[in-house]
Amino acid sequence: MDSELIYIPTLADMLIAHERIKPYVHRTPVLTSSFINKLTGAELFFKCENLQKAGAFKARGASNAVFGLTDQQAANGVATHSSGNHGTCLSYAAGRRGIPCTVVMPHTAPQAKKDAVKGYGGRVVECEPSTSSREAVFAKVVAETGAEFVHPYNDHRVIAGQGTCSKELNEQVTGLDAVIAPIGGGGMVSGTCLTLSNLAPSVKIYAAEPEQADDAYRSFKAGHIIADDAPVTVADGLKVPLKDLTWHFVRNHVTDILTASEDEIVEAMKLIWKRMKIVMEPSSAVPLATILKNPEIFAGQRVGVIITGGNVDLDKLPWQ
Amino acid sequence: MDSELIYIPTLADMLIAHERIKPYVHRTPVLTSSFINKLTGAELFFKCENLQKAGAFKARGASNAVFGLTDQQAANGVATHSSGNHGTCLSYAAGRRGIPCTVVMPHTAPQAKKDAVKGYGGRVVECEPSTSSREAVFAKVVAETGAEFVHPYNDHRVIAGQGTCSKELNEQVTGLDAVIAPIGGGGMVSGTCLTLSNLAPSVKIYAAEPEQADDAYRSFKAGHIIADDAPVTVADGLKVPLKDLTWHFVRNHVTDILTASEDEIVEAMKLIWKRMKIVMEPSSAVPLATILKNPEIFAGQRVGVIITGGNVDLDKLPWQ
């Protein structure tokens, strides 16, 4: 996988991204809960990307990719494959720029996800729920439209965009000891590494992953990428594997990867809803689940916790 | 009801309240949703008291009452009757001051409400679910403890405290045309009237009420207080009637009272959860429900919407 040259985004790329995307994203608030602090013995600062445009941090990376295109590059629009927040957020960003956006997703994806893409003006093209079908359909879309491919996470423009989240967090909270974010493909964690390794190198970076989709954890311990085929977890944003670019950041800058069980994730999710009064996805609860499970690591520390998104089906909550 | 002299709280009382309670309450954020703005044709600014301490605006009035007591007055603690947020918030405030708090509530009240009072250190005394039992049990509690009674809303200290919410809103949002809040007993609406009639008299004040508990609406139209016995509505914070002090403010300063059906309330609640990613109570959804129902009143205007609380049973959501 290292046979091709890859471009590693730099601090400058992240700073440029932040200026570029400011008109299109929120500087999201940081919330605290004295109840949860008492429970964990740590001081937790929740960076609320569930309150981000389109309901997820992925609006940052998608906006950076879309608004970084020249007019000529943008003319044919953008395309991606994603049945999650990246598709919705790419559609949002393209809609703001006024260019076409095509999202390839399996016909089995929830109607709400398809509607979300369409709601921002994007087009949904359905494929079979297999990697081969997705790749074939996506190649056809790109061939027909000439659209610019924006990968959900293994893209330097996307990682630079995601890095703007922890830039804000580091400005909003002084004296952070650690930051923890959920890890799936590693886009948010990579952006966090990019930013903090440059701007606040003493801050430790942790990644949190479901036990049932712990390929990043096993990759980290093994020293090379391990990709699972189709992990099953309530944290449906975290099923995808690391790729070369995100592996670069995880390998070099992450202190540790912690895991939590399905029950622990749902419990932490409900705790946040109940005590902090915010709607967030199961994926976003994984960091708190791992903090509750490993209090000795975080006790007495000031910890940034990234709440990555809030797009959840209110009719199918995981505790019901 | 006007035979006794009543003390009407003043602007000075509200300003003193704000200084007094600052260490104990949050200056809650104001959120916006471009989607809901498009839907309504208005610019809505949601003042998020669901993110307040103890999960409701009532932490303001309760803190003002508790911290305004002299040490001598405070020595015997405070007491109230409430199966809702006021009981929880009075317990919270008393806990912060380190004085006893007793809350009388029917034994039929949800266990979660009893636990919330106890969670902040308060004592729950149960009565039968009737007005006569409540009054008898409450009188006994006061006789035994000598506790200071803090009424949920018909109390000048409580109203002055609730008024601090719209003081903040008026500082956070420039050029408001109107503010709308749910109405039950009228504590929040009275505080809003107290503050805005002095600090921003051009801002129109609307109250929003469930059709199925529309006693304030009928009082407003009739010109005198009408109290219903036991209205049934999903907006369980809004079942109580106006009293002399809150009627004073409603009669003199409210532009209109608007009502919404149960379905409209639940629909608005779900819309806010889905789009704004916040957990709030059915009561808090009544203002948006009435705005969606009466777009012509609010079109093109800058409207403050008070989200009064977030203490909802996550296992019994009204759309399920």
Using a CB-CB cut-off of 8 Å, the residues of chain A touching B37 are none
Residue of B277, B278, B281, B312 to mutate when probing chain A, most A C-beta within 10 A: B277
- Residue from B2, B117, B110 nearest B56 by CA: B117
pLDDT in tens, B134-146: 999 999 999 999 9
Nearest to B277 among A270, A279, A319 (CB): A279
- Whether residue B266 is predicted with pLDDT greater than 70 in this model: the reply is yes
CB atoms within 10 A of CB B95: 18
Residues 6+ apart with CB under 8 A from A249: A159, A186, A189, A190, A193, A194
- Whether residue B250 is predicted with pLDDT greater than 80 in this model: the reply is yes
Rounded Cα distance between A68 and A24, Å, is 13
Contact B45, B303 (CB under 8 A): yes
pLDDT in tens, A250-295: 999 999 999 999 999 999 999 999 999 999 999 999 999 999 999 9
Low-confidence residues of chain A, pLDDT below 70?
Answer: 1-4
Using a CB-CB cut-off of 8 Å, the residues of chain A touching B116 are none
Rounded Cα distance between B203 and B192, Å, is 10
- Whether residue B108 is predicted with pLDDT greater than 60 in this model: the reply is yes
Sign of the torsion formed by the C-alpha atoms of A103, A105, A110 and A111: positive
Alpha-carbon gap: B50 to the closest alpha carbon of chain A (Å): 7
Rounded Cα distance between B96 and B23, Å, is 10
Kindly state the average pLDDT of the residues B194-223: 97
* Secondary structure percentages of chain B, helix, strand, coil, to 5: 50, 15, 35
Which pLDDT score is estimated for B4?
64
Which pLDDT score is estimated for A4?
64
Which pLDDT score is estimated for A2?
46
Answer left, alpha or beta for residue A307, where phi above 0 means left and psi between -120 and 50 means alpha. Answer: beta
Sign of the torsion formed by the C-alpha atoms of A298, A301, A306 and A310: positive
> Are A279 and B280 within 8 A, CB to CB?
no
Q: In this structure, what token pair is assigned to residue A239? A: 């099923």
Kindly state the average pLDDT of the residues B50-59: 97
pLDDT in tens, B2-13: 456 789 999 999
**What are the backbone dihedrals phi and psi of residue A314, each rounded to the nearest 5 degrees, phi first?**
-65, -15
Nearest to A29 among B29, B50, B276 (CB): B29
Cβ of residue A273 closer than 8 Å to a chain B Cβ: yes
> Are A314 and B317 within 8 A, CB to CB?
yes
The gap from C-alpha B248 to its chain's centroid, in whole angstroms, comes to 16
* 3 state SS for A200-261: CCCCEEEEEEEHHHCHHHHHHHHCCCCCCCCCCCCCHHHCCCCCHHHHHHHHHHCCEEEEEC
Instruction: Delineate the domains of chain A, giving CATH numbers in brackets.
Output: 11-56+155-307 (3.40.50.1100), 59-149 (3.40.50.1100)
Q: Which A residues, 38 through 77, put their C-beta within 8 Å of a C-beta on chain B?
A: 50-51, 55
Contact A96, A53 (CB under 8 A): no
Contact B28, B168 (CB under 8 A): yes
Which pLDDT score is estimated for A83?
84
**What are the backbone dihedrals phi and psi of residue A5, each rounded to the nearest 5 degrees, phi first?**
-70, 135
Nearest to B279 among A278, A315, A320 (CB): A278
Alpha-carbon gap: B51 to the closest alpha carbon of chain A (Å): 6
Sign of the torsion formed by the C-alpha atoms of A189, A195, A198 and A201: negative
| pTM beyond 0.90, yes or no | yes
Which pLDDT score is estimated for B169?
98
Cβ of residue B174 closer than 8 Å to a chain A Cβ: no
